[in-house]
A = this chain, B = another copy of it.
Amino acid sequence: MLKIGILGLGTVGSGVVTIINKHNQAIKRKVGTELKIEKILVNEKKKKREVEIDPDIITDRAEEILDNPEIDLIVELIGGEEPAHQYILKAIENGKSVVTANKLVIAKYGSEILKLAREKEVQVSYEGSVAGGIPVIRPLKESFAANRIEEIYGILNGTTNYILSKMTREERDFAEVLQEAQDLGYAERDPSSDISGSDAAYKIAILSSIGFETTIDVNQIFVEGIDTIELEDIRIADELGYVIKLLAIAKRCEDGLDIRVHPAFISKEHPLALVNDAYNAIYLHGDAVGDVMSYGQGAGQMPTASAVVADIIQVGRGIYHNKPEITIIDSTNDHKVKQINQVENLFYLRLQVNDKPGVLAKITKVFGDNQVSLASVIQKHKLTPVVPIVLVTHRVKEEYMIRSLEQLKQLNDVIAINNLIRVVEL
């Protein structure tokens, strides 16, 4: 028998309990022995639960699990930074293997945790931390082990993808769709971690650390959220053959790693453009395998629980047969992450200018002076004194683009710079 302790009985925790109960026999066959939930840590012991649980195994004292010599495997599903981080370290210190879905803790403390796990000869698995039920961490480590991973593109946040899809399909404003997403439970009451892109940044930090065999500090990742995206940008993107997605990017370049999260114009023809609603996708390029994409439900109770229980089975099997999986994540490569101003992109720029002769000439001169070459300029005829202009540049380093913008702002006839969005060539 393999005894496990679960920390946290929220949405994912309840899903894990449900799967373990439902697929009891199949799991036993796969682990080699019966899986028994010995203890579950909760905040409030008396709270009503969506799953039926023997009250005797519920505890509100973490030490009853972390220091319990009966328990071989700890499943951390509290989320957030602390106390999850300290609980994981304590579990490992006590010689227990750990399964977690905590992207924040793995992104921030992954190398510390994995180092300790190697010392203590226990296993740590975290498939559920990125892209819910879509297999991505194990494939990166194992299935693509023969490849040099060159590029990873991800739609890694379901909430923002839901909002952008809905804005696009229904031609509605950001604020309105966000409100509806909150009412329906697709977005949290405080949606800032999703909207700002930081949730996706944790996830791409984890994926790029594995894919590039290095340790990526999440603070080095440039992050921009979707709250500045207006319906007008989505409409123009559509006219130009693009959709707007919150894209997580990790690329090897000659002069460092290019890792970032921001809204991006991507071609409608690319498979990632078709990933809508709360779905997630990972598109990667390896030198042998070429392009591979996986897509599925990147969050939610059962998909995430699916990944967590798969980890429990895999780690549990290793414990039971006394053959722990060999974790090989060497931070062999000490890469630097490129500053965003050194990264090259095409850019989409939308601005408002006075409709006067010579204005366009002044604007294009600013770009010319800063080595920014324009691919297209769209000025729609309007019978108003102020008219919108949309520009798309050729490939150019961001610093030249930013310098151009600063100079544009100095021009009297430039009334407003509405939005600047990177166009990513996939």
List A residues at the B interface (Cβ < 8 Å): 15, 19, 23, 26-27, 29-30, 32, 127, 132-135, 138-139, 142-148, 213, 271, 274, 286-297, 302-303, 305-310, 312-314, 317, 321, 323-324, 326, 328, 330, 332
Of all chain B residues, the one with the shortest Cβ separation from A139 is B135
Q: Given the complex, which residues of B lie within 8 Å of A139, measured CB to CB?
A: 135, 138-139, 143
Q: List 20 A-B contacts (CB under 8 A).
A: A23-B146, A23-B147, A27-B146, A29-B328, A32-B326, A134-B292, A135-B135, A139-B139, A143-B307, A146-B308, A147-B306, A271-B274, A274-B274, A288-B302, A288-B305, A290-B297, A290-B303, A292-B296, A317-B328, A323-B324
Q: What is the oligomeric copy number?
A: 2
Bound-complex Cα distance A303 to B288 (A): 6
Q: Which 9 A-B pairs have the closest CB atoms?
A: A146-B309, A135-B143, A292-B296, A133-B289, A288-B306, A289-B306, A323-B323, A288-B302, A294-B294
A326 interface neighbour in B147, B213, B308, B321, Cβ under 8 Å = B321
| A297 & B289 in contact (Cβ 8 Å cutoff) | yes
| A15 & B145 in contact (Cβ 8 Å cutoff) | no
Q: Given the complex, which residues of B lie within 8 Å of A332, measured CB to CB?
A: 29
Of all chain B residues, the one with the shortest Cβ separation from A140 is B135
| A306 & B135 in contact (Cβ 8 Å cutoff) | no
**Chain B nearest CB: distance from A277 CB in Å?**
12
| B146 & A19 in contact (Cβ 8 Å cutoff) | yes
**Chain B nearest CB: distance from A12 CB in Å?**
11
Q: Given the complex, which residues of B lie within 8 Å of A317, measured CB to CB?
A: 326, 328
Q: Given the complex, which residues of B lie within 8 Å of A148, measured CB to CB?
A: 23, 26
**Chain B nearest CB: distance from A220 CB in Å?**
24
| B292 & A294 in contact (Cβ 8 Å cutoff) | yes
**Chain B nearest CB: distance from A67 CB in Å?**
28
User: Looking at A134, A144, A288, A330, which has the most chain B CB atoms within 10 Å of its CB?
Assistant: A288
Bound-complex Cα distance A104 to B163 (A): 46
| B19 & A310 in contact (Cβ 8 Å cutoff) | no
**Chain B nearest CB: distance from A15 CB in Å?**
7
Of all chain B residues, the one with the shortest Cβ separation from A29 is B330
Of all chain B residues, the one with the shortest Cβ separation from A284 is B296
| B294 & A293 in contact (Cβ 8 Å cutoff) | yes
**Chain B nearest CB: distance from A121 CB in Å?**
12
| B290 & A133 in contact (Cβ 8 Å cutoff) | yes
Q: Given the complex, which residues of B lie within 8 Å of A271, measured CB to CB?
A: 274, 295
Q: Known contacts being A30-B328, A138-B142, A142-B314, is A309 close to B288, with CB within 8 Å?
A: yes
Bound-complex Cα distance A184 to B309 (A): 46
**Chain B nearest CB: distance from A330 CB in Å?**
6
Q: Given the complex, which residues of B lie within 8 Å of A30, measured CB to CB?
A: 145, 328
| B146 & A313 in contact (Cβ 8 Å cutoff) | yes
Bound-complex Cα distance A330 to B147 (A): 31
**Chain B nearest CB: distance from A229 CB in Å?**
25
